[in-house]
Every structure is written in C-alpha cells, then in structure tokens.
Amino acid sequence: MSIIKSILQLHFNKNYKFQIAYVISGTVLFFLTQFVLPVAAQINSVNEIHRIQSKVSTKKCQFPHHFASIESLDISPNGKTFISASSDNTIKLWDVSTGKLLRTFKGTGYRGLMSPDGKILISASYDNAIKLWDIGTGKLLRTLAGHSDSITSLSMSQDSNILVSGSWDKTIKIWDISTGNLLRTLRGHLEWVNSVAISKDGKNVISGSSDKTIKLWDIPTGKLVTTLKGHSNMVSAVAISPDGKTIFSGSGDSTIKVWDIGTGKLLRTLKGNFHMVESLAVSSDGETLVSGGWDSTIKLWNIKTGKLLRTFGKPIKQSELSESLPKNLPSGTVLSIASPSTAAISPNGNIIVSASKSNIQIWNVKTGEIIRSIEGHSDWFQSVLFSQDNKNLVSLNSSDTINIWDKRTGNTIRSLKDKWVRSVAISPDVKTIVTGGWGDKTIKLWDFQTGKLIRKFEDGGVNSVAVSPDGNILISASNETIKLRDIRTGKLLHKLNHSFPVSFIDISKDGNHLVSRTIGDEIILWNMGTGKLIRTLKKETVYDTNAILVTSIAISPDSSTVVSGYLNGEIILQDTSTGKNIRTFKSHPYGVYTLAISPDGNTLVSGSYYDNKIKLWDISTGKLIRTLEGHLYNVSSLAISSDGKTLASGSHDNTMKLWDMNTGTLLQTFCNSAQQNK
C-alpha cells in the first residue's frame, strides 16, 4: 500500500474520516420406488446442467491479470522475468520477452521484491508481516512479524542476507534473511516511513518519510549518520547509486533531489513532474535514473548531468483530471483522481517495466516505444440485487453500467449506462429500476423491461437509493439528508436530517424502519411512517483517531435488530427497541465489507476485504454456519433472494456468483468480459 495511494481518493472537509464503503438444491425423501427413480434421474439431470453451467461460466470468467492498482515492480537479476505486486493481494511473475504469466503468488500483500540471487520473493502483507516465498516452487518459506502498521517499502542487500523494511509505524527494521530474526529497529522519523533503500555493500540504509526528511543510517551499529532536509513535502521515494556515493529522493513537492552521501550536500534538483514522485530506480551501471510519477509518466534521467532524456507515457495534468470529475459531489467531498506510475529498469538498462493502475507496460529504452502491454481487469461488481420474483439479477458495475441478468441462464438481458452511478434499487413489482449518483442532480427511474428512462427527480449528489417494500416510496440519501418521496408523483413526504453526509441506507422488509450510516460513523434508526428519529445506535466518532470505522449496516426483516460491520472485522448486533448490544463477534481478519440478512431473519451473511471469503452466521447464537470461498478479491456486495434459497455475491474480481444458501454450493458465476493480453 503506497503512500496515500489509490485510484480513487476521497477527502472530507472538517477532517471527516472517509469509510470504505458495497437454488436449485435440496434433499427430498421418497418411499415409493416407482417415484424415486424418475425424480432422482430428473434431479441428476438438473445438477448436471448446473455443473456444465458452472464449468462454462468459470472458464469464461477467468481473469489472470491484476484486479487492482499495482504498487511495486521488480526485475530479476538476469533480466528475464519481473514481478508485479498489487493491492489485490497477489504478486505475479511474468516473462519479460513474451509477457506470459508464469506464476501467481496469492495472499502476498501489496508490495514485492526479488532477492539479488533471484531465488526468493519478499512481500509485504496486509497483516503487517513480511513473507518470504520460493520463486521456483511458489511455496511460503517464512513469515517475519514485527511492524505494527502497514509496510511501505522493502530493500535487500546484494548478498541476499539482510532485508530492510520501512513502515507507517515510523520505524525501519533490519532482518536476517537466513534466520528470520529481527536484528535491529531504527527509530527517529516523526511521521510515516515511506521508502527505504540499502547500499550495495549492506552497510548503510537510507529512509524517506512524511516528515519531509531523508535519514542515513549505519546498519552495523544502528546509529543515525545524518539527516537531509530540503523537500517542502513528504519524501515518497528514495534510491541509492550502485557505488553507494549518491542518494536520490522523490517527493510530494514534485521534485527529485540528488545528494552526496559523504557530505550530505544537495547536488542537484530534477524538475519535470506535475505531481508526486511515486518511485525511483537506478540502472545497474549507475548512469540512469528512472522515476514514476502521479502524472502517469515514467521519466528517464542522466544522473551525471541531471538532463531529462525521455518521458514515457502521456502526462495527465490536474486540469485534465478535473474535467473528468463528477459535477454533483455530495457536500463535504473533495474528489481527486490520479493515476500513479511505478517503474523498474532491467540490469542491462535496455528495458523499463512500468505500471499504472492495474496495467503493465514494457518499454524499449532506446526508442521509447511500448514493446508490450498487459492490461488488468477493471469492471468489478459494485452492487448486486435480486428481483422480487427471483427471475433476474441487477448489478451495478464500476464502469457505471447497470446490467440486468437472467438468473437461470447467466446471460445479460440488457444494460443501462449513466455517469457516476453510486446506487441502484429495484421496485418490488419488478417494473422499475432506480439509480442515483454524482453525475447530475437527478434520481432516475428506468423501465425494467425496455431500459428506457421513465422520469427524473431533482436531488443533490446521491450516495444511496431504495424503494419501500410496498413500492410506493422512493428513498434517497443526498448530502446530510434522506428524502422520502411518492414514487409516482415525486411529492416529498419526509426529510430526515443528519449532521454528516449519509453514505448508506437500509430498509426493513416490514417497511416500518430505516437505518442510516453517515461518514461521521453514525448509525441512526428512523420511523419510516413518521420520518422521526427513533434513536442513534452509534454516535459519531469522526474526530476520534482511535475509533474503528463502520463499513456496513443491515436491518433485520422484522426491524428488531440492526447489524453493523467494522474495519477491524467485528460485527455488532443491536436491539432496535433498546439500542443495547446483543452480541459482538470477530468475523474476518481484514474487515467486513458488506452484510446481508436472510428474509426469515435467521441468517447473517458477511463479505470481507482481502481474505475474499463469505461467511454465514446464525443470528440467534452468533455461531459460524459455513464459509464460502471462490472469489479472488474483495467481496463488495451481497444479496439474498426473496425465498431465502440463493445468495448472490459481487466482487472486485470482476465476477458475481450465485450460491446455494442451504449447502454453500456454488451454482453459477457471472462476468461481463475477459480481457486478454495485447
């Protein structure tokens, strides 16, 4: 996880915290022989159809490349292979000459490094640990634990004996690779350590921090040698020349500085980036510096002269980014889209491998031309829903496409396209689809059968929409207000005012209650009939830096219970009549992403970040019923059919899956398209 890096960043005024916020089976008993055989044959036939559908859909929905932003790259010592480490919790090993995927390491985390001898892969994991893998076999060799926050950078000595790691816990740690022992912890930075680099002889390490400084450390003694100051913003990347005489530092101030390691003197400042410098790499001959920036470019510099030799890729300026932003953001939201690039240079200096978002480019250094592009996959399922009659599914994809699917065949019936759609709902009579978003100041109603736009209602930037169980009321969350309207006339019935912008709403199946979640981390229960606030189930903790963020909420069908999921993996059940906690349990190691409750109110389903699992829980006891595995990345959305037999799950892995609620069997996998190498 690189420094404040994400494709989509959201910031809130007044220091608001932003929370990451999205069957045919059974057992039948027969006792008549003449009835058993034909029914059994029919069941086998149906099961065989499902097996065939599952095989076909699984084959169609294979996505070998990355689903999320690539955080780091490294090229092997012989220049024949390279690795890409992504926030999708995988590291992939590629052939440089062909672009062929050789191996995928799963559960690695988001940052990777190849040892100088080419035998070991080192990764930084989401549990703040370092993992060592055998590149030849793909086996996990050892786990190094010691950091208390995200690991931002890794560097290894030339003899492959010493590993250095930097972290958001403000420390640098020195490890013995052969034993896995922690040799030393270096402390001195006042803010996050964003980047580290070790000298070729293994005697010194340099570190760059959000405190705007670069520090030089002596590894044998652990003593601080010197502190270099000069950047006006965070130091985001550091590198050291092969001869150990020169330090390079990249910063949020858009500059690269060159320092003499012996005197600490600033030798040169390289200018040319429009945004933060994301990565730095030095060629093995020490003549060329490669930088990756937030302006989506890779730059090649002559180290001796400081001259910019070549720019790879087209720079994206802030003015261009601003034009692509939605025009109707919710209040308190400042949205910025950037496309950070990271890069590595081959040992012979002839090839540069770069990555932006989930895409990889291989460049010819001499000509500046792209030799090969490897495209990532980026059409994930943001939201999934069942139609009330259980015949169709509706999905909202990251491409702002709303797809209507035939549940039985897995085919797309039709697609709706709009800009910056944030939420979708289906009317109970399955005649209308409702969408709300940030594209314009409207909520839109679409004809389910034809896909035609029926009407619009004026509103602000909409985060969430819903339709009451009787189909008469349209509910929308915009800014600090929830509005209840007559769905036929658009007449405003109630306004539910909040202190913070509302991020999500859920309605009980009996239509009596509504629960809302705000970006202030509040959870509030409302009376749907009167529009009055019943109680605040969780007060705002936006100014509490130690508070655990609420990531998801759901209300039981009978309105008796509100369930909330948290970023630390906890799930809390609360009694709506008293507001008291009924039960708290730990569900997922990396946080709860989404929740759903079965129509009978007996089963809770949770989906997670990073461990990619779905878990079914008995609500009355809090006991785990079963765990469903099959998704390759975050489970972003869950929905349960009205008959309670089928579960739908949407994921950042570009698939939507159907599961049998009673058995946990995977019934079907849906996807939009499978992208291939270019």
Residues in CB range of 481: below 8 A, 6 or more apart: 460, 495, 496, 497, 498, 502
Separation between Cα atoms, residue 459 and residue 439, nearest integer Å: 11
What pLDDT is attached to residue 201? 86
Tokens (6 digits) for 464: 């969430």
Mark out the alpha helices in 218-338 (DSSP H runs): 318-323
Among 77, 87, 111, 101, CA closest to 279:
111
**Cβ pair 654, 667 in contact under 8 A:** no
For residues 424 and 436, give the distance between their C-alpha atoms in angstroms, rounded to a whole number. Answer: 7
Cβ distance 317 to 48 under 8 Å? Answer: no
pLDDT, tens digit, 9 for 90 and up, residues 111-152: 999 999 999 999 999 889 999 999 999 999 999 999 999 999
| Of 593, 486, 578, nearest in space to 534 by CA | 578
Nearest to 113 by CA among 100, 104, 122, 126: 122
Under a CB-based contact definition with an 8 Å cutoff, are residues 565 and 595 in contact? yes
Q: 113: which strand partners?
A: 122
Give the 3-state secondary structure of 470-496. Answer: CCCEEEEEECCEEEEEECCCCCEEEEE
10 Å Cβ neighbour count for 7?
A: 15
Alpha helix (H) residue ranges in 510-661: none
Q: Is 334 exposed, middle or buried (0-12, 13-18, 19+ CB in 10 A)?
A: exposed
Higher per-residue confidence, 480 vs 315: 480
Q: How confident is the model at residue 399 (pLDDT cuts 50, 70, 90)?
A: confident
Give residues with Cβ within 8 angstroms of 489, minimum separation 6: none
Provide the 10 A C-beta neighbour count for residue 47: 13
Model confidence over 519-557: pLDDT tens digits?
Answer: 999 999 999 999 999 999 999 887 787 888 999 999 999
Question: What number is the average pLDDT over the span 180-194?
Answer: 97
DSSP state of 547: P
- Least confident interval from 2-16, 274-288, 422-436, 626-640: 2-16
**How far is it, in rounded angstroms, from Cα 379 to Cα 360?**
17
Q: What gap in Å lies between CA 15 and CA 22, rounded to an integer?
A: 23
Residue 502, both tokens: 């509302």
Query: pLDDT tens digits for 371-390?
Result: 999 988 878 899 999 999 99
Q: Any bridge partners for residue 484, and if so which?
A: 475, 494
From CA 180, how far away is CA 145, in angstroms rounded?
A: 9
Task: Report the distance separating Cα 329 and Cα 438, nearest Å.
Answer: 5
Q: How far is CA 126 from CA 98, 111, 148, 160, in A?
A: 31, 10, 11, 24
pLDDT at 451 over 80: yes
Over residues 71-80, the pLDDT tens digits come to 999 999 999 9
pLDDT of residue 333: 53
**pLDDT confidence of residue 272:** 86
With 0-12 CB in 10 A as exposed, 13-18 as middle and 19+ as buried, what is 365?
Answer: buried
pTM of the model: 0.82
CB contact at 8 A, 670 and 656: yes
Contact 351, 345 (CB under 8 A): yes
Q: Given pLDDT bands bounded at 50, 70 and 90, which one contains residue 224?
A: very high
- In terms of DSSP bridges, do strands 129-134 and 453-458 run parallel, antiparallel, or are they unpaired? unpaired
CA-to-CA distance for 237 and 163, rounded, in angstroms?
Answer: 17
Strand partners, 477: 464, 482
Tell me how far apart the alpha carbons of residues 294 and 468 are, in angstroms, rounded to a whole number: 44
Q: How confident is the model over 609-662, as pLDDT tens digits?
A: 888 999 999 999 999 999 999 999 999 999 999 999 999 999 999 999 999 999
Q: Under DSSP, is residue 314 helix (H, G, I), strand (E, B) or coil?
A: coil
Tokens of 235: 């130091």
> What domains can you pick out in the chain, each with its CATH number?
70-374 (2.130.10.10)
4 pLDDT exceeds 50? no
| pLDDT computed for residue 34 by the predictor | 27
* Phi, psi angle pair for 14, to nearest 5°: 60, 30
- Residues with Cβ within 8 Å of 320's Cβ and at least 6 positions away in sequence, in order, are none
Separation in Å, CA 131 to CA 1, 135, 197, 634:
15, 12, 18, 21
**Six-digit token string for 534:** 């019943």
